[in-house]
A and B are shown apart, each in its own frame.
Chain A
Amino acid sequence: MPTSFFTGTDYALSLPMILLSLFGLGVLIIDLMLPAEWKRWNAITALIGLGFSTAAVMRIQLGHFADGRPLVGSFAYLSNVGGQVVGSVLMDGFSIYFFYLFLLGAAIAILMSAHYLEIEHEHHGEFYALILFSVVGMMCMASGYDLVLLFIGLELMAISTYVLVGFLRRDKRSNEAALKYLLLGAFSSGIFAYGLSLLYGLSGSTNLQVIAQALQRHYSANPKDPIAIVAMITTATGLLFKVAAVPFHQWAPDAYEGAPTSVTGYMSVAVKSAAWAMLLRIFLWGLYPLRPVYLPLLVFVSVATMTVGNFAALSQNNLKRLLAYSSISHVGYMLLGLIASDNITNKTGIQGILVYLLVYTFMNLGAFAVVTSLRRRDIIGDEIDDIAGLYSKAPTEAVLMLLFLLSLAGIPPLAGFYGKYFIFLSLIQTQHYVLASLAVLYAVLGLYYYMRIGSAMFMRPATDPEPVAISPGMQVALAVTAIGTVGIGILPEFFIRAAGWSLGIQQAGTSLLGFLR
């Protein structure tokens, strides 16, 4: 029995999460004392919390992390196996990269939400608290090195998101979406937990590293053992459900359509990134010995995801639904990166996924920010007809939306291109030519439905004269996402290096600009 359960390192590593939890609770309490017209202070408090948490992440990155070796947080030695001390938190570049991603996504989502919630008459402090709590969950998912912590993180994030989806209490669609998401999400969590329990049964440990070692022995001894395969398939099902890959995607369009628009944006980037972080952790760290088994499965899922996502998006008339299907198709591309590279012999694909998630955060949140701002009094504003003629009403917004859409489609001077570029490159490097050509063709298909929105904005007359008013928060959100989308497109070096650094491809630096060296 160790003498100290919670060391200084543990404290430092969990500080970002501790701070976010404190601010989340703070928002809940402060909200009780605020009069209705001061509710914006909740948003500001939450943003300050995110800022503090970012500072804590930076402290880990620059202080504890200067030599570039991953840190293992012990957290009371949850898994003490045969004298081998294995912690439950793995703080490496990968975790830190995702921490920044979640904080960024949450900050932009909060900026988008303040005015929107006022219009919906649902401006409550709980919204911001839930966003902060969900970020805590995401952080556990990205840095978790132990099945228990991963699962707790997943549930914390998921439950917060269920509530956020149903946040418009008086809106039937929002309620329906929340219920569907809750039922299907709980179901998938159950399957996932079942898979985790089998993994525990196979290895006698909840630690990913130990599981990987056990699976390695187990798999080399009897490669056709059904238990290992069932464990892998059930775990994969849960994970693929969370990233909304076909055939586990059914919840996504409904949940995305019904949720408050800013929440939809948040779900499509931050929640999805967190699910990806966990998926990569489990597939590349824990389940790595089973790679020959899961590879064909992933090929099938990824092709199906691209096919369904792209074809279903073609015929959508609801903007949120269209973006939901498009986000499904993006998951398909990202899965290709996981197929192409195993993070050992080839890292390009994984780096591609990380870059993809980063640029996706900017461009997709940007697109949802524009859709959110279409919500005006009495106009729901999420049909393609509602965005028609946007160029004549709000030219700046229309141009920004066009940038986001083109970036989503992967047109070069914009950020979205680099995500696709790395994925395609990794496929070519590993000689998956058929998958590469398929992905390229689907990328073209994607262009068509993005252009539908684009042509509606620019080349059709407006359906209603109601002007589009943009709140200051929204202006900041749009500016950040637009700068991100264009900036990464023109000067991608820093971000590509950051992704490479997080995988240990590039050396870490001691300064903030360490990425650049």
Chain B
Amino acid sequence: MPQNYVPIFLFVAVVAIAIPATLMIGKLVRPNNPEKAKLMPYECGIDPVDNARGRYTVRFYIVAILFVVFDVETIFLFPWAVQYRALGLFGLVEMLVFLAILIVGYVWIWKKGALEWV
């Protein structure tokens, strides 16, 4: 059985080598200009340690939710892609139905103005 795990060990080894290597190379190539803001977790300006009652616009959430919705829905397409031949016409129709529903949702949020940043 262990021979079945060989690809995984290979994968682990590649990861273990590749990540430190790229970090190292980056360190050598990029200009070095340290600044305080660069050390913060989010560079977009949100202070990670703040008053718990502080407010920020709800649009962050809307955009985040919409992103998650549409991003995660595409995961649905993967299993279909894998079984494309076996599912045949049924799978195609089913996926079109799914996408149609998704498009209706997309049109709806667009018209509702959820995508506009004001």
Indicate if B64 sits at the interface (CB-CB under 8 A): no
Query: Quick check: B108 and A32 within 8 Å, CB to CB?
Result: yes
Interface residues of A in 1-34 (CB under 8 A from B): 1, 4-6, 21, 25, 28-29, 32
Query: Quick check: A29 and B87 within 8 Å, CB to CB?
Result: no
Indicate if B86 sits at the interface (CB-CB under 8 A): yes
Query: Quick check: A25 and B104 within 8 Å, CB to CB?
Result: yes
Query: Quick check: A28 and B104 within 8 Å, CB to CB?
Result: yes
B contact face: mostly helix, strand, loop, or mixed: helix
Query: Quick check: A25 and B101 within 8 Å, CB to CB?
Result: yes
Classify chain B's interface size. Answer: 10 to 19
Contacts of B90 in A (CB 8 A): 4-6, 76
Indicate if B114 sits at the interface (CB-CB under 8 A): no
Query: Quick check: B86 and A29 within 8 Å, CB to CB?
Result: no
Interface residues of B in 44-76 (CB under 8 A from A): none
**CA gap between A21 and B108 in the complex, in Å:** 15
Interface size on A, residues (CB 8 A): 10
Indicate if B38 sits at the interface (CB-CB under 8 A): no
Q: B89-111 toward A: CB 8 Å interface, digit per residue (1/0)?
A: 01100100000010010011001
Report B57 CB to chain A, min CB distance, Å.
17
Query: Quick check: A1 and B108 within 8 Å, CB to CB?
Result: no
Report A274 CB to chain B, min CB distance, Å.
22
Asked if A32 meets B111 with Cβ closer than 8 Å, knowing A1-B86, A5-B87, the reply is yes
**CA gap between A25 and B108 in the complex, in Å:** 10
Contacts of A29 in B (CB 8 A): 104, 107-108
**CA gap between A4 and B86 in the complex, in Å:** 11
Query: Quick check: A28 and B87 within 8 Å, CB to CB?
Result: no
Interface residues of B in 6-53 (CB under 8 A from A): none
Q: Which residue of B lies closest to A28 (CB)?
A: B108
Report A283 CB to chain B, min CB distance, Å.
33
Q: Which residue of A lies closest to B100 (CB)?
A: A25
Contacts of B86 in A (CB 8 A): 1
Contacts of B112 in A (CB 8 A): 32
Report B43 CB to chain A, min CB distance, Å.
32
Contacts of A21 in B (CB 8 A): 101
Contacts of B91 in A (CB 8 A): 5
Report A242 CB to chain B, min CB distance, Å.
25
**CA gap between A25 and B101 in the complex, in Å:** 8
**CA gap between A370 and B53 in the complex, in Å:** 42
**CA gap between A1 and B86 in the complex, in Å:** 8
Contacts of A28 in B (CB 8 A): 104, 108
Contacts of A4 in B (CB 8 A): 90
Contacts of A32 in B (CB 8 A): 107-108, 111-112
Q: Identify the A interface with B (CB < 8 A).
A: 1, 4-6, 21, 25, 28-29, 32, 76
5 nearest A-B pairs in the assembled complex, by CB-CB distance: A5-B90, A32-B111, A25-B104, A28-B108, A6-B90
Q: List 6 A-B contacts (CB under 8 A).
A: A5-B87, A21-B101, A25-B104, A28-B104, A28-B108, A29-B108
Q: Identify the B interface with A (CB < 8 A).
A: 86-87, 90-91, 94, 101, 104, 107-108, 111-112
Extra A-B contacts (13), CB below 8 Å, given A5-B90, A28-B104: A5-B87, A5-B91, A6-B90, A6-B94, A21-B101, A25-B104, A28-B108, A29-B104, A29-B107, A29-B108, A32-B107, A32-B111, A32-B112
